[in-house]
A and B are shown apart, each in its own frame.
Chain A
Amino acid sequence: MTRLSVNRKAYEVEADPNTPLLWVIRDDCGLTGTKFGCGVAQCGSCTVHLDGEARRSCVTPLKAAVGKEVTTIEGLSPDSTHALQKAWIEVDVPQCGYCQSGQIMSAVILLKENKKPTDADIDAAMSGIVCRCGTYNRIRDAIKKAAMNGGAK
């Protein structure tokens, strides 16, 4: 039995300590907003936060999350009113939507560390999150809009 805190809620899960955190989040915690993309930390769809830092949950073992706070897309805000979520809706960023929770979770880290990111900053922060629909221009617009509207708050 492993004790885990996800979105400030305590869980006890029966899982091998080496189980990728992604599957614990999805299968044991029932939080399916975090997506499986490649399984080798290449695409970024599975990005979550561990104590406020981005982590590819598909390669992060459960044991690495013990004693830390896991934040998933569901934990960003109780009612989808995080500045980035609002900007995402306003700009109508998603097409298929599969990668978007990873995009937003990565953008949160960007705006936490950089309140007014330039295009180059956005490229540096977001280049590792692959969007098969190619929504990159809208992602860029939404990040800038969110930055103007309160950023990571």
Chain B
Amino acid sequence: MKRNSTFSNRNALKLALIAIACFALAGFAWKGGVTIEPVDGSVVNEQTIETAPNPAAAMAAFNEAAKVFFSARCANCHPASDVPTQGDNFTPHAQGVTRGKEGKGVYGMKCNTCHQDQNLEGDHMPPGVPNWHMPPADQKMVFQGLTAGQLCRQLKNPKMNGGRKTPKEAIHHLEEDPLVTWAWTPGDGRSVPPISYEEFMKQMNAWVANGAACPE
């Protein structure tokens, strides 16, 4: 391997390093209600999710958005166990990588030991984005193995969602975290979620706007 080849064209080992998708959606927060804008300048009403404007529309939107949460780029770093997975078939991460207390790996096996601030050119190279990580051990934000309803309820549980308090905060999190948008630019050799980021956000916004009801 010559130095000037930088990171591409590496055929030395075809070990299966496919992206882990540390998809830091570990932060949705809800406090159980949505704020409804006043129509006549009077006091703003607090309406609970259970009496949301359109639960059917909210559930439909979440079901569509859930395709993203459950896709490999996102769910690989949201396992039920403490071992992230990789590839489109959710293979346990090579090298025995584990979550660690903060979701950033352990000892010399931390995420940023290998994952850089950007994707590296070439197949089987570690994907990258600043602050690559999994959800922390005390709020694992599991995606793998859940139904859409289970996922939805988890996202709304303040004890499991990183403490974000409003639907607006959650949407902001989806908009501003580079780990989220990374899923649509995952680097060489990796698939992307089944719907676009724009469509994903459209559905998440619709879910919130319609009261954030959860599918069964």
* Residue of A38, A64, A113 with most partner-chain B CB within 10 A: A38
Complex contact A39–B114 (CB within 8 A): no
Question: Is chain A's interface secondary structure helix, strand, loop, or mixed overall?
Answer: mixed
Given the known A-B contacts A20-B6, A23-B3, A124-B98, are A106 and B13 also in contact in the complex, defined by CB atoms under 8 Å?
no
Give per-residue flags for A10-30: 1 if the beta carbon is below 8 A from chain B beta carbons, else 0.
000001101110011001000
Instruction: Give the distance to chain A from B42, nearest Cβ to Cβ, in Å.
Output: 55
Complex contact B10–A40 (CB within 8 A): yes
Give per-residue flags for B1-37: 1 if the beta carbon is below 8 A from chain A beta carbons, else 0.
1011011001011010100000000000000000000
Which of A48-56, A74-82, A84-92 forms part of the interface with chain B? A48-56
Instruction: Give the distance to chain A from B196, nearest Cβ to Cβ, in Å.
Output: 29
| Smallest Cβ-Cβ distance to B13: which chain A residue | A38
Contacts of B12 in A (CB 8 A): 37-40
Complex contact A40–B6 (CB within 8 A): no
A-facing residues in B192-215 (Cβ within 8 Å): none
Complex contact A27–B98 (CB within 8 A): no
Interchain CA distance A30-B127 in the complex, whole Å: 29
Interchain CA distance A109-B112 in the complex, whole Å: 14
- How many residue pairs link A and B with beta carbons under 8 A? The number is 105
Contact partner of A124 (CB less than 8 A), chosen from B10, B17, B107, B116, is B107
Given the known A-B contacts A125-B109, A127-B109, are A42 and B13 also in contact in the complex, defined by CB atoms under 8 Å?
yes
B41 on the A face (CB < 8 A): no
Q: How many interface residues does chain B have, given as a range?
A: 20 to 34
| Smallest Cβ-Cβ distance to B120: which chain A residue | A59
| Smallest Cβ-Cβ distance to B1: which chain A residue | A39
A93 on the B face (CB < 8 A): no
| Smallest Cβ-Cβ distance to B93: which chain A residue | A128
Complex contact B13–A39 (CB within 8 A): yes
Interchain CA distance A64-B128 in the complex, whole Å: 13
Complex contact B94–A42 (CB within 8 A): yes
B96 on the A face (CB < 8 A): yes
Instruction: Give the distance to chain B from A49, nearest Cβ to Cβ, in Å.
Output: 9
Instruction: Give the distance to chain B from A119, nearest Cβ to Cβ, in Å.
Output: 13
Give per-residue flags for B76-113: 1 if the beta carbon is below 8 A from chain A beta carbons, else 0.
00000000000000000011111000000011111011
Taking A38-B10, A55-B113, A59-B7 as known contacts, 9 extra A-B pairs with beta carbons closer than 8 A to each other, sorted by chain A number, are A18-B6, A20-B3, A23-B3, A39-B1, A40-B13, A43-B13, A124-B106, A124-B109, A127-B96
26 A-B residue pairings within 8 Å (CB atoms): A15-B3, A16-B4, A18-B6, A19-B4, A20-B7, A23-B3, A37-B12, A38-B12, A41-B114, A42-B13, A42-B15, A42-B17, A42-B94, A44-B95, A47-B113, A53-B113, A54-B109, A54-B110, A55-B113, A56-B113, A59-B120, A59-B125, A59-B126, A108-B108, A110-B108, A124-B106
